A = this chain, B = another copy of it.
Amino acid sequence: MTHEVKEIFAGGTPPAPAALAAKVRTLAPSMTRSMQRVAEAVAGDPAGCAALTVTGLAELTGTSEATVVRTARLLGYPGYRDLRLALAGLAAQQQSGRAPAVTADIAVDDPIADVVAKLAYDEQQTLADTAAALDTVQLGAAVGVLAAARRIDVYGVGASGLVAQDLTQKLLRIGLLAHAHNDPHLAVTNAVQLRAGDAAVAITHSGSTGDVIEPLRVAFEHGATTIAVTGHPDGPVTQYADHVLTTSTARESELRPAAMSSRTSQLLVVDCLFIGVAQQTYETAAPALSASYEALAHRHRTAAR
């Protein structure tokens, strides 16, 4: 069963071009120890690994050929051969293009200027990873669903709750009927009302937040079209999701909780959703946007510009 799911997922995701490091991080938790060793080697030294055959990489990581192939599959490639090609591409990009730039962790005694630089760099990296790994087909489908939905419910708690509210605020601005639910009970209560033609969006980094999965399940079972925005596409939440949008998972450190970069990633996805929907509903969205600007204008003391 589990394998079936994995294979379907792998099939749906076309071979990643340069978002490999991100994918490794995203999928690392669902990997076995041996596979993690392989993934680590691959992410750590793309150029070096590209020079190795299956057997070589297996020996290097102290595993077997089978494990290497399995890892390649999990990362979304048909086999090791293709992973190797992608690796070669990645290596070439790294070498020619931008600085590989070592992301040092933020330390307790870093001066504040370093903190700013490191944080900015990390968030930029997160954005790049997310954009590279985002499945545009799924995104397009999700946009279509939202644009056509009679009503949109968005679920998220904690840090993801803010992202849910952000999406809702934006959708409301272009005249769509959206609502963000923070309270799990109320969320479920409202989810019961949904039916075919409605849309439900669940936002959860872990992919296993019960408080968010539950309303999505109810919405799903009542016939609403469901969308999951998660960093763990193999988590339980995807069971009830018609469309899955994957956010990138950056490694966290003691001082920097995962919530920070997952939020950046989620916001990018949400922004893409919003722009996509705005494009599709441009006729109504544009006037609605201007209207909301004007309505807000008088809340500013002086026209600041």
Contact = CB atoms under 8 A, between A and B. Distances in A.
A109 B280 CA distance: 9
A41 interface: no
A90 interface: yes
Contacts of A91: 89
Contacts of A179: none
A304 B166 contact: no
A286 B299 CA distance: 40
B109 A17 contact: no
A289 B255 CA distance: 9
A279 B119 CA distance: 14
Interface in A209-238: 209-211, 213, 232, 234-236
Contacts of A296: 158
Contacts of A173: 257
B30 A268 contact: no
* Range for the number of chain A residues in contact with chain B: 35 or more
Complex copy number for this chain: 2
B279 A255 contact: yes
Given A254-B289, A268-B119, A18 B301 contact: no
Contacts of A58: none
Interface string A264-302: 100110011001101100100010010000001001111
A235 B108 CA distance: 34
Contact of A210 (B92, B143, B286, B301): B301
A166 B50 contact: no
Nearest to A214: B301
Interface string A165-200: 110011001000000000000000000000000000
Contacts of A278: 255
Interface string A231-270: 0101110000000000000000011110110011001100
A108 B276 contact: no
Nearest to A51: B85
A130 B120 CA distance: 8
Given A116-B139, A304-B29, A299 B211 contact: yes
26 contacts: A29-B304, A29-B305, A89-B93, A90-B92, A92-B92, A93-B97, A108-B282, A110-B279, A112-B272, A115-B272, A115-B275, A115-B276, A116-B131, A116-B136, A119-B131, A119-B268, A119-B271, A123-B271, A124-B124, A159-B166, A162-B166, A170-B259, A208-B303, A209-B301, A232-B304, A235-B302
Given A89-B89, A236-B301, A256-B275, 19 more contacts: A30-B304, A84-B85, A88-B88, A88-B89, A88-B92, A90-B92, A109-B279, A112-B143, A113-B136, A116-B131, A116-B272, A117-B131, A119-B275, A124-B128, A170-B257, A208-B300, A209-B300, A209-B301, A235-B304
